[in-house]
Amino acid sequence: MTQLDVRVLIGSLRSASYNRKLFDASHELVPEGISLTEIPIWELPHYNQEIQQDPTPVVERFWEAIRESDAMLFITPEYNYSIPGVLKNAIDWASRPAGSSPIYGKPGAFFGASGGRSGTMRMQLHMRQVLPCLNMPLLLKPEVFIPNVADAFDDEGNLVDDRLKGQLIEFYEAFEQLIRLQRS
């Protein structure tokens, strides 16, 4: 069975980000058939059509990393009831050029953690409207909402919430199935 190369965009840039910690912890939770690799989105400039038409090496590398992938995963907090601007900027880059966008048609999934009670529910609703316009088949279930995320980690930054671990294992298994179904 082919190994699936999933590329990950993380929506929070601070080094101690809980969403980054969830990415780190995920390497041990994914099925054997999946590998997770981050694509750095902080290197990207703000989207500008002029740069797109004469792309810098950073933009070229970003497009190439998406083109090589088998699927896209978004792990991200919710900012102002929506997708963080920095992550939306990366999606805007990924969606160009219009006719030959590298992200177009790739299977996708998302989850995220927030300090408050929404657990990124509202961010995920906006993703359900944004990613279909890029023709991306999306993981439907399970949905993983992580409120009060600080409680899920111990003082050393280890993910110690077994219920959440179980949810993520189930999430990644379902994502693998979605990706393989789309390739069949």
Return residues touching a second copy (CB under 8 A): 12-15, 41-42, 46-50, 79-92, 95, 117-119, 121-122, 125-126, 128-130, 132-138, 140-141, 145, 147, 181-182, 184
Q: What three-state secondary structure class fits 79?
A: strand
Judged by beta carbon, residue 67 or residue 126, the one nearer a second copy is: 126
Q: What three-state secondary structure class fits 36?
A: strand
Alpha-carbon gap, residue 179 to 106, rounded angstroms: 9
Minimum CB separation of residue 28 from a second copy in Å reads 27
Judged by beta carbon, residue 79 or residue 172, the one nearer a second copy is: 79
Q: Closest Cα partner for 78 from 43, 39, 126, 42?
A: 126
Judged by beta carbon, residue 32 or residue 129, the one nearer a second copy is: 129
Judged by beta carbon, residue 32 or residue 141, the one nearer a second copy is: 141
Q: Token pair for residue 43?
A: 């290197």
**Contact between residue 35 and residue 6 where contact means Cβ atoms under 8 Å apart:** yes
Judged by beta carbon, residue 27 or residue 183, the one nearer a second copy is: 183
**Contact between residue 175 and residue 111 where contact means Cβ atoms under 8 Å apart:** no
Minimum CB separation of residue 79 from a second copy in Å reads 5
Q: Is the peptide bond before 142 cis (omega within 30 degrees of 0)?
A: yes
